[in-house]
Amino acid sequence: MKAATVHEIKQALMGNTAKELAELCLRLAKFKKENKELLTYLLFEANDEELYIREVQQEISSEMDQIDPGQNLYFAKKSIRKVLRMANKYIRYTGSKQAEVAILLHFCQSLKQSGIPFMKSTALNNLYQQQHKKINKALSTLHEDLQYDYHRMIEDVF
């Protein structure tokens, strides 16, 4: 079965009533955890992005705190990648470049403060540098005042 394009789906949804749309959304939410998380964000958390960013940052911090810096570097890599996947998922939900910069910057700060010797691992060092590039790319699209504020934070982290 071939999936319809976004345009075709949009056209089909335009012809439905509000009740039918609600039923479709509920049915969609039942299939995958990510769909339910996205609907939760859109319905309850999208109106206060600052609070959402703080919650994501707290979750990143708690996940990074659970990683033992003295453990095998292999397991630390797996845990760090898991936290990064989670952060990227939450960034996709917002679609905001400011949220992307704030969340990735917090991820890098948490990684640096964790005590994990990530500079000794080529893979983790590359991961860290890639996040720096992603932050700079997203930062270039923000307003100049925000860019200045975030550049000062970036200097402390990198």
pLDDT in tens, 69-127: 777 888 989 999 999 999 999 999 998 999 999 999 999 999 999 888 888 889 999 99
Q: 18 in a domain, yes or no?
A: no
User: Which residues, 6+ apart, have CB-to-CB distance to 7 below 8 Å?
Assistant: none
Average pLDDT over residues 4-15: 87
The count of structural domains within the chain is 1
Q: 38 in a domain, yes or no?
A: no
- The pLDDT assigned to 142 comes to 85
Q: 30 in a domain, yes or no?
A: no
Residue 64: exposed, middle, or buried by beta-carbon count in 10 A (0-12, 13-18, 19+)? buried
Q: 52 in a domain, yes or no?
A: yes
Average pLDDT over residues 49-66: 94
| Residues of the chain above pLDDT 90, percent | 46
| Residues of the chain above pLDDT 70, percent | 100
DSSP E strands, the chain: none
Phi/psi of residue 115, each to 5°? 90, 0
Q: What are the tokens at 96? A: 């905001």
Q: 85 in a domain, yes or no?
A: yes
Which residue, 44, 55, 135, is CA-closest to 98? Answer: 135
Long-range contacts from 30-35, C-beta under 8 angstroms, 24+ separation: 34/89
Average pLDDT of the chain to the nearest whole number = 90
Q: 68 in a domain, yes or no?
A: yes
Q: 96 in a domain, yes or no?
A: yes
What is the longest distance spanned by two Cα atoms in the chain? 58
Q: 21 in a domain, yes or no?
A: no
**Distance from the Cα of residue 134 to its chain's centroid:** 12
- Give just the sign of the alpha carbon dihedral 85, 86, 92, 97: negative
Range of the domain at 65: 47-157
Q: Is 66 helix (H, G, I), strand (E, B) or coil?
A: coil
- The pLDDT assigned to 90 comes to 95
